[in-house]
Amino acid sequence: MDTKRPYNFYAGPAILPLEVLKKAQTELLNFSGTGISVMETSHRSKPFDAVITGAEKKIRQIMNIPDNYEVLFLQGGASLQFAMIPLNFLKKKKADYVHTGSWAKLAIKEAKLLGEVHIAGTSEDINFSALPKDLNFSDDAEYVHITSNETINGTQWHDFPDTGKVPLIADMSSDIMSRKIDINKFSLIYAGAQKNIGTSGVTLVIIRKDLIEKGDPNIPTMLKYSTHAEKKSLHNTPSVMGIYITDLVMDWVLKQGGLDAIEKTNDEKAKILYDHIDSTDFYQGLVEKEDRSSMNVVFRIKNNDLEPAFIEQAKEKGFIGLKGHRSLGGLRASIYNAFPVQGVKDLVKFMKDFEKNNS
């Protein structure tokens, strides 16, 4: 990593691989020999077609996505998916939601506007410091919705629930492509790209074709999955720059050795950081060990009053984005795919020094 660049712990938009940024920089004025930038290129041109089809092909390869799924590049963020999912599939009936924290709550809020929501499990009583263990799914739900990684609360599903015949839908915004998963368990996966797979402006949707067919036909055209599937994500002007960056990130993922290698590195980084937090009383993890996220490590200093100084001094040393989400406070280190192992080791060294100077 370029030593002049800070270590970026922002939760999203988040760190991108440096080589992706450099490649984008070299092509900024002259993309694919066109003499113009990708931002100035028609989304129906041949050079852009190579980008969008290439990105899809690589995503299919990396995640091992079978042919009975569509891979879509949408807009509106994961937040629009909170509404699009119930609009298409709830149809004034019932869906099960597992309430694991801030993002699940927003998904539930949208679904409640459009039908009945059954909370199949919640850990609200323990401040979302673990995943709910008692899950109570309805037989007649249209789908089950989970948040695979709660970016703010720092929990992550390590084993996904078996929902039988009921389609499982997951918001994977903050851990997509951080590990290997079995796509066949899911009917729909969605993720804002701005953490692990690109930049804001692109929302990746991986959806099983039979679910698309169940979508309500009487909703606006732009909000139907069928529209975007039929038009191969080109119903309207997509985020050309965003899809281009995702394509470059996919090249980087493949170069790392795919999800086997990425998962191994992510586990290593998380272990270094959690091991240190666990080794001292000065710092405190906020999440039960078995449900901790390998992407967003939330923690506090036991003496909360020291946290502003920690954030300030960390910033001076080149560690940015360590402030916890405004709704939770405390500290959070987001260590997405592109975050280097060395950065975590250096953060731990800083944490040790800070502890020594403040004990």
Ligand X SMILES: Cc1ncc(COP(=O)(O)O)c(C=O)c1O
Binding site for ligand X (CB under 6 A): 12, 77-79, 103, 147, 151, 171, 173-174, 192
Strands (E), the chain: 7-8, 69-74, 94-99, 116-122, 144-147, 149-150, 155-156, 168-171, 188-192, 203-208, 283-285, 296-301, 319-320, 331-334
Task: Kindly state the smallest distance separating residue 76's Cβ from ligand X, in Å.
Answer: 7
Longest pairwise C-alpha distance within the chain? 63
**Buried b / exposed e across 96-124, counting CB within 10 Å, b at 16+?**
bbbbbbebbbbbbebbeebbebeebbbbe
Count of Cβ atoms closer than 10 Å to residue 255 Cβ? 11
Residue 86 or 301 having the CB closest to ligand X:
86
Cβ-in-10-Å burial (0-12, 13-18, 19+) of 302 comes to exposed
Residue 228 or 276 having the CB closest to ligand X:
228
At 308, give phi and psi (nearest 5°): -60, -40
Residue 18 contacts by C-beta under 8 Å, 6 or more apart in sequence?
Answer: 1, 2, 5
Residue 173 or 239 having the CB closest to ligand X:
173
Q: Which residue is nearest to ligand X (CB)?
A: 77
Residue 204 or 301 having the CB closest to ligand X:
204
Task: Kindly state the smallest distance separating residue 196's Cβ from ligand X, in Å.
Answer: 11
Task: Kindly state the smallest distance separating residue 82's Cβ from ligand X, in Å.
Answer: 7
Residue 109 or 264 having the CB closest to ligand X:
109
Q: Which of 283, 282, 268 is nearest to 343 (CA)?
A: 268
- Residue 260 in contact with residue 64, Cβ under 8 Å? no
Task: Kindly state the smallest distance separating residue 220's Cβ from ligand X, in Å.
Answer: 19
Residues belonging to the active site: 103, 171, 195
Task: Kindly state the smallest distance separating residue 27's Cβ from ligand X, in Å.
Answer: 25
DSSP designation for 21: H
